[in-house]
Amino acid sequence: MYLHIFIFMCLDTLIIAMQTPTKDTKFKFNTLSNVYLPYAYTPDPLFGLGEDAAEQLSFEPSSKLIYAVGNTNIHVLDMADVTNLTVLFHQSYTSVAITDVHVCGGHVFVAFDNTTRHEDGCVNVYKLYNKETQTLDLVHSIKVGTLPDMVLTTPDCKTLIVAIEAEPYDDNANAVLVDNSGGIGLVKFPQGPNGAYTKNLESQGVMYINRNAKFSDDVEPEYITLNTEGTLAYVSLQENNGIAVVDLASEEIVDIFGLGFKDWTLANIDPSDRDGGVHMQPWKVFGMYQPDAIKMLRFQNEDFIVTANEGDSKDYDYFSEENRVGDFVLSELFGRLKVTSVKGKNETTQQYDQLYSFGGRGFSIRRASDMSLVYDSGDEIATKTAELLPHLFNANGEESIAVSDCSDTRSDDKRGSTIAVYSLDQTAAEITPQFEAFIYGVGDSDETRGDLYTARDISMQMLLQHLRESLKAA
Ligand SMILES: *[C@@H]1O[C@H](CO)[C@@H](O)[C@H](O)[C@H]1NC(C)=O
Ligand SMILES: *[C@@H]1O[C@H](CO)[C@@H](O)[C@H](O)[C@H]1NC(C)=O
Ligand SMILES: *[C@@H]1O[C@H](CO)[C@@H](O)[C@H](O)[C@H]1NC(C)=O
């Protein structure tokens, strides 16, 4: 059996799905239908690229409804006819940014960031969309900490896990950085989500933020995945390059693992966004993996965690860890790479002996029990992009940048609309994912992504690596 792993090229989203019986089973994607969601209603719908109209979605298979959230709206879409996706319903809110949605059993869980002066956000629990009354009926509104970023439940829907990111913000009036307490919220519904609940915001105390103190103090929980038994939650602490493990029964953080560093003397990296092209070579720099999305993978009766190593930094007016290599090392090619100022400094010489950059530029697989690294994609995603999608190499996906003219922002490493597909042979002795294909949302156009969006011309295309190889061989 082959399992497929889909990695969104901004390396912040992962899907592990689709089984095919053999390696040679050719899979192909066709666009069946597109639907564009408004980011706001005034009351007329407003559309635009990069406005967070559809931040997250969750599919409810028995009713074939999609719950899509973004910006200030919840949308319900009907997928009964996949060639004709239709928006059935929308509900709008004010002074919020909706960050996530998760459907479990008969309920929909939606996370709201409170944009009113960074007050606590909440998770709302609704019954499934009622087609007869055309309503989304609220069951609970549960106050959690600042900026709940992800919601997930155990398969029985009786435990809700909330990643409370609590990103800091600049307080301009007092010229300071305010850093609220980040953490992991557990909400338990012993009789199911219709009944009463108990709440434990594990963050309070355990992971209180203090920038002058130790590693665990200024974490920003980002993404959650569960072990196969549904007893442990693994939570990525992106900026801190770590993963926390929460025991759902005892409601305690039982472990915090640091993820170590990727040695770029052993693989090729293009560190510059201003060198006018593809320049891959080893450099003396370490990458912090810093995953956003993490997903559990069952391989031969053992749990592994796949991590999408996006990278992120703390960069605010009143605190920033960002520097460019050029601040320390004179090198035209290398100098643009962003590195952290909080690690690698020799206290005697006050020089940086080691440099640490943000993100791993790929994905990794780790043993869940001890977080040891069993696989890393190295430089393969960048190498395959240079080979198969050269016009998208370094593309940062921004609206203003022409699709084929965006070869220079690699150090910021954002390439929207492209998905790398890997396959994994589940009968093999070791975990060795193979690159299969790119699926990408723009063609070889010189239009900007914004123009393609406005023209409703963003459609998914697929580029198969093995197809290329067979063409080359022919
Ligand atoms: C698509 O669905 C909508 C809403 O149900 C319906 O009005 C429309 O006729 C359908 N279009 C097609 C082509 O089936
Ligand atoms: C935002 O915070 C205000 C003030 O505490 C509160 O009245 C409001 O209900 C909150 N909104 C949400 C969506 O949590
Ligand atoms: C810091 O620099 C000094 C002087 O070059 C050197 O002797 C020392 O080993 C360095 N410290 C570390 C931790 O590398």
Q: Does residue 271 have its Cβ closer than 6 Å to ligand 2?
A: no
| Average pLDDT rounded to a whole number, residues 444-470 | 67
The size of the chain, in residues, is 474
Q: Does residue 112 have its Cβ closer than 6 Å to ligand 2?
A: yes
- Taking only the tens place, the pLDDT of each residue in 364-419 is 999 999 999 999 999 999 898 888 877 777 665 555 555 544 433 333 444 456 78
At 274 the pLDDT is 65
Among residues 128, 116, 155, which one has the least CA distance to residue 74? 128
Ligand 3 site, CB within 6 A: 346, 348-349, 353
At 331 the pLDDT is 57
CA distance 356 to 378: 16
CA distance 287 to 472: 34
Ligand 1 site, CB within 6 A: 84, 86
Give the residue, by CA position, lying nearest to ligand 2 atom 6: 119
Could you tell me the distance, in angstroms and rounded to a whole number, from the CA of residue 346 to the centre of ligand 3? 6
For residue 260, what pLDDT band results from cuts at 50, 70 and 90?
very high
- Taking only the tens place, the pLDDT of each residue in 107-117 is 999 999 998 87
Q: Does residue 146 have its Cβ closer than 6 Å to ligand 2?
A: no
Could you tell me the distance, in angstroms and rounded to a whole number, from the CA of residue 34 to the centre of ligand 1? 13
Q: Which helix (H) or strand (E) holds 384?
A: helix 380-388
At 416 the pLDDT is 54
Return the number of other C-beta atoms located less than 10 Å from residue 63's C-beta.
15
Could you tell me the distance, in angstroms and rounded to a whole number, from the CA of residue 221 to the centre of ligand 3? 34
Give the residue, by CA position, lying nearest to ligand 3 atom 12: 346
Give the residue, by CA position, lying nearest to ligand 1 atom 11: 84
- Taking only the tens place, the pLDDT of each residue in 297-313 is 999 999 999 999 988 77
- Taking only the tens place, the pLDDT of each residue in 332-378 is 556 667 788 778 888 888 888 888 888 898 999 999 999 999 999 99
Which ligand is in closest contact with the Cα of 33? 1
Could you tell me the distance, in angstroms and rounded to a whole number, from the CA of residue 133 to the centre of ligand 1? 20
Could you tell me the distance, in angstroms and rounded to a whole number, from the CA of residue 61 to the centre of ligand 1? 20
Backbone angles phi, psi at 150, to 5 degrees: -150, 145
pLDDT at position 235 over 60: yes
Which ligand is in closest contact with the Cα of 121? 2
Choose from 18-22, 249-253, 258-262 the range with maximum mean pLDDT: 258-262
pLDDT at position 205 over 70: no
Across 157-171, 176-190, 199-213, 228-242, least confident range: 199-213
- According to DSSP, the residues that pair with 140 across neighbouring strands are 125
216: helix, coil or strand? helix
Pairing of strands 252-258, 242-247: antiparallel
pLDDT at position 325 over 90: no
Mutate to test the pocket of ligand 2, among 93, 112, 114, 126 (most ligand atoms within 8 A of CB): 114
Q: Does residue 99 have its Cβ closer than 6 Å to ligand 2?
A: no
Per the CB < 8 A criterion, the answer to whether 307 and 235 are in contact is: no
- Taking only the tens place, the pLDDT of each residue in 263-294 is 999 999 887 766 667 888 898 889 999 999 99
Pairing of strands 122-127, 107-114: antiparallel
Could you tell me the distance, in angstroms and rounded to a whole number, from the CA of residue 82 to the centre of ligand 3? 63
Q: Give the dihedral of Cα atoms 263, 268, 269, 275; nearest 10 deg.
A: 140
- Taking only the tens place, the pLDDT of each residue in 13-42 is 888 887 888 777 766 777 788 899 999 999
Per the CB < 8 A criterion, the answer to whether 283 and 265 are in contact is: yes
Could you tell me the distance, in angstroms and rounded to a whole number, from the CA of residue 345 to the centre of ligand 3? 10
190 CA to centre of own chain: 30
Q: Does residue 110 have its Cβ closer than 6 Å to ligand 2?
A: no
Task: State which ligand 3 atom lies nearest to the alpha carbon of 347.
Answer: 1
At 177 the pLDDT is 77
At 309 the pLDDT is 92
DSSP output for 65-88: EEEEEETTEEEEEE-SSTTS-EEE
At 134 the pLDDT is 97
Task: State which ligand 3 atom lies nearest to the alpha carbon of 349.
Answer: 2
Give the residue, by CA position, lying nearest to ligand 1 atom 4: 86
DSSP output for 353-383: SS-EEE--SSEEEEETTT--EEEE-TTHHHH
Structure tokens at 419: 């998905």
| Average pLDDT rounded to a whole number, residues 444-457 | 74
Task: State which ligand 3 atom lies nearest to the alpha carbon of 353.
Answer: 14
At 306 the pLDDT is 97
| Contacting residues for 432 by C-beta, under 8 A, at least 6 apart | 375, 424, 425
Per the CB < 8 A criterion, the answer to whether 88 and 63 are in contact is: no
- Taking only the tens place, the pLDDT of each residue in 89-112 is 999 999 999 999 999 999 999 999
Which ligand is in closest contact with the Cα of 79? 1
At 107 the pLDDT is 98
For residue 123, what pLDDT band results from cuts at 50, 70 and 90?
very high
Among residues 250, 217, 249, 254, which one has the least CA distance to residue 235? 254
pLDDT at position 207 over 60: no
Structure tokens at 244: 């926390």
Task: State which ligand 2 atom lies nearest to the alpha carbon of 96.
Answer: 13
pLDDT at position 173 over 80: yes
Per the CB < 8 A criterion, the answer to whether 342 and 349 are in contact is: no
Give the residue, by CA position, lying nearest to ligand 1 atom 13: 84
Go through 413-439 and write b for each residue having 16 or more CB atoms within 10 A of its CB, e for each that does not: bbbbbbbbbbbbbeeeeebebebbbbb
Could you tell me the distance, in angstroms and rounded to a whole number, from the CA of residue 261 to the centre of ligand 3? 20
Peptide bond into 43 cis (omega under 30): yes
Give the residue, by CA position, lying nearest to ligand 3 atom 4: 349
| Contacting residues for 69 by C-beta, under 8 A, at least 6 apart | 54, 55, 56, 57, 75, 98, 99, 100, 101, 110
pLDDT at position 127 over 70: yes
For residue 329, what pLDDT band results from cuts at 50, 70 and 90?
low
Among residues 297, 237, 282, 312, which one has the least CA distance to residue 422? 297
